[in-house]
Structures are given as C-alpha cells and as structure tokens.
Amino acid sequence: MVSRTAVMTLPIAAALALAGCSGADEGTTDSTPTSEQTSSAQATPSDSETASAEASEEATGQDPDTSNDVKDLPDYVKPYPKSNVLSASIVKAHNDKDTKQPEQVSLVVAAKAEAKDIFKFYDEELGKADFEPLGDEVKTKSARVQNFKHKDNDSVLVVTVADDSADKAQSIVTVGGNIVS
C-alpha cells in the first residue's frame, strides 16, 4: 500500500533527483565521498532534525503563514474534477516587501480517472497560468511524474499520478512545488 506520506514526498524526491542530475566535472574521476565528507555529513544531524521539526510544524498548520484550505491555493492548483481532496497546503514565504520569495504548495486528491486524462487536465490548467512542461514525463511501475516551470519566473510544480493500492480504480494525484507570487 502506498502511504500518503510517500505520495506527498514523491514530487519532492523527483525534483531533487532532477536537480542532482548534472554530470561530473571534467576533473573529477571519482564520485565516492571522502571520509571527511562522510564525517561532516554525519556530524550535523541536528540541522536536519531542526529542519524536519520546522517542516512538521508548518505542515500541521501551527505556523500562521500556513493554510490547509484548498481555497487558499492559487486558482491554477485546483483539484481534478470529481476528485476527493485528501490534503491541501500552502506555506507562505516570509517575504520582504521588495523581494519575491517562493511559497510551497501541495494538493493531494484521489481521482477515478486515467493518468493521461489527469495530465491533460493539469497541462491545460497550468498552461493557462503560463506554466509549461519541463522535460519529459517520467514513468515508473506505479507512478507517472511531469514537471512544469513557469515561463516568466522560477515557479516549479510537479504533478504526480500514482496507483492507489487500496482502490485500483483510482489514482492518487499530487500537485506540488514552489511558486513565486
């Protein structure tokens, strides 16, 4: 069974994987970390624990800049028609008045529809908001992923359609990423 946590983190993992898909420098012959790099990475678990605690606080809605209401999401991040909303959130950036910082958005729905129809819907809806596909659709055994980038800013959204192990007739759809408002 695919957990909601796994479905919600899949777009983040996919984005991180794509961000890390750059080739090695010409001068680099070995990509194995040195013992100093490994020790350094292991010596700072408190940083990741702190970040995890902060993310958990934001996800639970305790932060006043967080909303779990689908109505607070941008108009183009909308539930697939006739779907069941499982979760929705937007974490507003702590913006300076003169700078634009990204906001994190996430929408998870259960939809009884084919993946191709779901992708077509989001391609059209996000296209209306000047998003375009970024790269090719990625297919795995149980999910399909498409990245979208805004034409005029650094906004990036990831649409994931995963099999619902509890109900083979429906899919779990996640739309999430960082937007610049």
pLDDT single digits (tens) 111-150:
999 999 999 999 999 999 999 999 999 999 889 999 999 9
Higher pLDDT, 172 or 13: 172
More confident residue, 98 or 110: 110
**Which of 143, 173, 176, 166 minimizes the C-alpha distance to 12?**
176
pLDDT at residue 89 is higher than 80: yes
pTM of the complete model: 0.62
Q: How far apart are CA 120 and CA 40, in angstroms?
A: 45
Confidence band, pLDDT 50/70/90 cuts, at residue 20 = very low
Percent of the chain's residues with pLDDT above 90: 44
Which residue from 167, 148, 164, 165 is spatially nearest to 156, judged by alpha carbons? Answer: 148
In the chain, domain spans: 4-18+64-180
Residue with tokens 């012959």: 29
Average pLDDT on 71-100 reads 82
